[in-house]
Structure 1
Amino acid sequence: MAVSSASEVPVIMRGESYEDCVEKIRKIYGRDYYIIKKEEVAPEGLFGFLKRKQYAVTYAVIPPSVQRTASSSAAVSSAMDFAEEKRKILEANKNFSNPQMKLVLDEIRSLRRDLDEKTAAVQNDEHPTIVRLEELLRKNEFTPTYIKNISDKIRKEYSLDDLNDFDTVQKTVVDWIGQSIRIADTVYLSSPQVIVLVGPTGVGKTTSVAKLAARYIVDRGTVDATVQRVRIITTDSYRIGGKEQLETYGGVMHIPVSMAESTDDMQKLLKLYSKDVDVILVDTTGHSPKDYEGLAKMRKVLDFKGIQTQVFLTVSASTKVSDLRIIMQQYEIFGYDALIVTKMDETDCIGSIISIVDEKNKALAYFTTGQRVPRDIEKANPVRMLIQLSDFKIDREHIDRKFSSQSLG
């Protein structure tokens, strides 16, 4: 970097840190300078994005005439911080009579405005393809950790030349998102098949139980002769109208609905149904993840004493990331196998669900997309989530083919 004379425009000093930059400037000018801007920047060069970030300090040298004036004033004492020093120097010279000094100060102000406008570009020396894809991921509400993992993978897999082909990289990113979505195996060979839905209030557990019941007894509008013996048990004695709602659904489908308010009630019903029932669906009371006492009581009721079960945590697709993490953590006491994601039709941003399920290494079992029983439920599959991504260009034929083994069953 060339050393600037007092009459030149401000210059930039780069270093490993802000302190490193200041030390380099002081070795050349002592304290006869003032700092205009400091910022974190990407290293220079073709492969700068692979190196550690650096700092850049934009500064100007105080002309000798100003140095003499300042040296006789307490304004530039060693105790003054850099920001105050800069302000006072500019203030002292705003009406400076020297035409050359006025030009220098005007140039400084102009450069400052230009630097402010270009800060984003200076700070981010990332390839435009990566920047654009990160913006798409953020728009779909993927978590910062998930986005970073995708970006790191892009840098690892693609050369600089290959990054210029945005459509190809985007197609690969969509594939990676799909591959991060684990799908639960809902085939259950024991008899009876006991399926338990747990989750917070208001996510649609009761309606989901009715939809699952309908799936087992109805196949494309006709009764499936292979599975007809279905029973529903509810533990929800708190919600007004909860049992009545299930009984209404059960009545339409000719499925008995029973109430279990204690561990003994549950054991008696399971024993009653164990020999002549194919599927037992258990609806549970909704509890806030912070209702530790309520969760503990429900866990006791759901002590099946050696009976093998499938437990599905039911969550809404629109649940925000922080709440989703807490819910999944607190409901771990039920040993849930996978998630049922409800209300998929009520949000355009499913990145939070994909991110946290991947983060927690959990699988997806079913999606629900409305209130209609039995229609608005489907087996979870990556394609359904990928086509819901906003502003991504989705090659439907490609993802159908790639994820065909995990398609709707």
Structure 2
Amino acid sequence: MMYFTETGRTHQELILLIRDKYGPDATVLSRKKITVGGFLGFFQKDGLEYSGYVSSKGRPKLSENDKKEQKKILDSVKVEKKREDSLQKILDEVKSLKEDIKSAPSNEGGGELPSLLAIENYLFENDFSLSYIKKTLDRLKAELPFAELNDFEITMNRVNSWIEESITIHQDRNKKRNVFILVGPTGVGKTTTIAKLAAQKGLGIAGSQKYSVRMITIDNYRIAAKKQIETYGEIMGIPVTCCESYEDLKREIDINSDVDYIFVDTIGKSPKDFVKLAEMRRILEGCGQECEVHLAFSATTKTWDIREIMKQYNPFGYDSVIITKLDETTRCGNLISLLHEQKQKVSYITTGQMVPQDIEVATKEKIMSLLVGSKQVTKG
């Protein structure tokens, strides 16, 4: 009698192998699943292992040695079965653990640490965009060690420093002669803003240098707007001119070539009025290359609308933005988020209707001071 053990991929493959190798008298005693092939545990495949004996006389009475050999084979099968049962038990436990984790309450947004939850609430209450909040929390987790991450004072100061870094302030070109054009949708206070800027430069407010100033308006469609800027001009003693075409504007700019500052007020148009915006852009080309274009929008405008305004006024090539009516809102995180997203600079902010005092050059410190709770934790 001879015992054998053979391996193969399938039952049919093994039976054919055993019959071919050991003949029709081969008897299979045990079968078990195994893995075959592979390298360093990779690319293994499922297979089978059959063990048995060969006898030319059917199944004769086994000798003691044969019985011992058969017992070894059967014992090995039992051990392998026990191992498979243990492995299956482990796999079931792992699967159960995965299900527990999957069904556990989500703790996204840094809520696992009180300090991060407080930071998230601070940014949310100040109306920062969701993407800005997520990037800030991810940056905290990536850059701060756990001991600092769990310290509210450290995290708060770090976040405020990052917010300040994300604000970009427009730098004055300090040219000898400036043509300052203000564009933007209707109702954001462009004419009042132009009057404030002209007054500051033309009247030498707060001891600043007094410059020669002119105001030009191309808004001849609204009688009230034209009358408003002319009234401002009369009160401040600053000449005001109305232009209706590219040629009129170019001629007026050339005539006032010796003036330090020329402030150009424009027509308030909806960002969806593409035809009128194109016409206005053509007229403004009369100002030549030596000009600065600033886009005005109200702090009370919805974030999505501001994004659309900025997009539609891109053809004007504006250098920076002026945020008006900041006194009419209690949150400015959305503005910081949007300007950072669009990589835009801020030149001025206005905080009321009074001319000329309710306007100031934008600074990071001023914008940071508008954040609710920004001074709760500061060092030094």
Q: Compute the TM-score of the two structures, normalised by the length of structure 2.
A: 0.71
SS in 2 for 1:241: helix
CA-based RMSD of the aligned residues comes to 2.6
Cα distance in 2 for residues equivalent to 1:260 and 1:318: 31
Report the equivalent of 1:406. Answer: none
State whether structure 2 residue 115 is matched by structure 1 residue 129. Answer: yes
User: Within 2, Cα distance between the matches of 1:151 and 1:227?
Assistant: 48
Give the structure 1 partner of residue 50 of structure 2.
none
- Determine which of 198, 203, 208 is the counterpart of 2:183: 198
Deviation of the 1:218 alpha carbon: 3.0
CA distance in 2, matches of 1:298, 1:14: 66
Q: 1:92 maps to what in 2? A: none
1:210 equivalent to 2:195? Answer yes
Secondary structure of the structure 1 residue equivalent to 2:163: helix
* 1:251 matched to 2:234: yes
- List alignment gaps of at least 5 residues for structure 2: 1-87
Distance 1:305 1:12 in 2: 72
For residues 187 and 266 of structure 2, the distance between their equivalents in structure 1, rounded to whole angstroms, comes to 12
AA at the equivalent of 1:261: E
Aligned to 2:313, which of 331, 345, 355?
Answer: 331
Cross-structure match for 1:304: 286
Query: Residue 314 of structure 1 contacts residue 340 of structure 1 at CA under 8 Å; is this kept in 2?
Result: yes
Tell me, yes or no, if the aligned pair for 2:110 and 2:137 is still in contact at 8 Å: no
Displacement after TM superposition at 1:255 (Å): 0.5
Any idea what SS the aligned residue of 1:149 has?
A: helix
Partner letter of residue 161 of structure 1? Answer: A
Are residues 1:174 and 2:160 paired?
yes
Q: Is the 8 A contact 1:314 1:339 kept in 2?
A: yes
Does the C-alpha gap of structure 1 residues 269 and 142 become closer, same or farther in structure 2, counting only changes over 3 Å?
A: same
Q: Is the 8 A contact 2:294 2:322 kept in 1?
A: yes
Task: State which of 357, 361, 365 in structure 2 corresponds to 1:379.
Answer: 361
Paired residue type of 2:132: Y
**8 Å contact 2:110–2:120 — kept in the other structure?**
no
> Which digits, 9 at most, give the CA deviation of each residue in 1:297-354, with x for residues without a partner?
1111111364311111001112222111111111001000001011111111101110
Quickly say closer, same or farther: Cα 1:307–1:227, change in 2 above 3 A: farther
1:280 paired with 2:280, answer: no
Q: Is the 8 A contact 2:119 2:156 kept in 1?
A: yes
1:12 positional shift: 8.9
Match of 2:274 among 289, 292, 313: 292
Q: Percent identity?
A: 40
Question: 1:13 aligned to 2:100?
Answer: no
| Secondary structure of the corresponding residue to residue 304 of structure 2 | helix
Task: Could you tell me which runs of 5 or more consecutive residues in structure 1 were left unpaired when the two chains were aligned.
Answer: 4-10, 16-20, 22-37, 42-55, 58-114, 399-409
Larger radius of gyration: 2
* In structure 2, distance between residues paired with 1:246 and 1:123: 50
Moved more, 365-374 or 121-130: 121-130
The match for 1:362 is 344
C-alpha distance in 1 between matches for 2:186 and 2:108: 48
Deviation, structure 1 residue 120: 5.5
1:227 Cα offset (Å): 3.4
Give CA-to-partner distance per residue, 1:147-172, whole Å, 9 cap, x none.
11211211122111112210121011
Match of 1:391 in 2: 373
Partners of 1:353 and 1:122 in 2: how far apart? 25
Structure 1 220/165 Cα, relative in aligned 2: closer, same or farther at 3 Å?
Answer: same
How far apart, CA to CA, are the structure 1 residues paired with 2:320 and 2:113?
38
Letter of the 2:230 partner, please give it. E
Quote the Cα distance in structure 2 between the aligned partners of 1:253 and 1:124: 55
2:247 and 2:97 mapped to 1: Cα distance?
Answer: 73
Q: Residue 125 of structure 1: CA displacement? A: 5.9
Instruction: Tell me which residue corresponds to 1:30.
Output: none
Q: Quick one: distance in 2 between partners of 1:124 and 1:394?
A: 20
Q: Which amino acid aligns with 1:143?
A: S
1:163 maps to 149
Deviation string for 1:221-280 (max 9, x for gaps)?
55x5x53310000111122310111111111110011111110111111111113x1100
Segment drifting more, 300-309 vs 151-160: 300-309
Which deviates the most, 304-313 or 139-148?
304-313
Q: Distance in 2 between matches of 1:211 and 1:394?
A: 34
Q: Which residue of 1 aligns with 2:216?
A: 233
User: CA contact under 8 A between 1:318 and 1:346: conserved in structure 2?
Assistant: yes
Distance, in Å, in 2 between the alignment partners of 1:125 and 1:255 is 58
Decide whether aligned partners of structure 1 residues 349 and 232 sit closer, same or farther in structure 2, where only a CA change above 3 A counts: same
Alignment of 1:186 with 2:169, yes or no, is no
- In 2, the alpha carbon distance for the partners of 1:284 and 1:234 equals 6
Checking the alignment, whether the CA contact within 8 Å between 2:183 and 2:190 is kept in structure 1 is yes
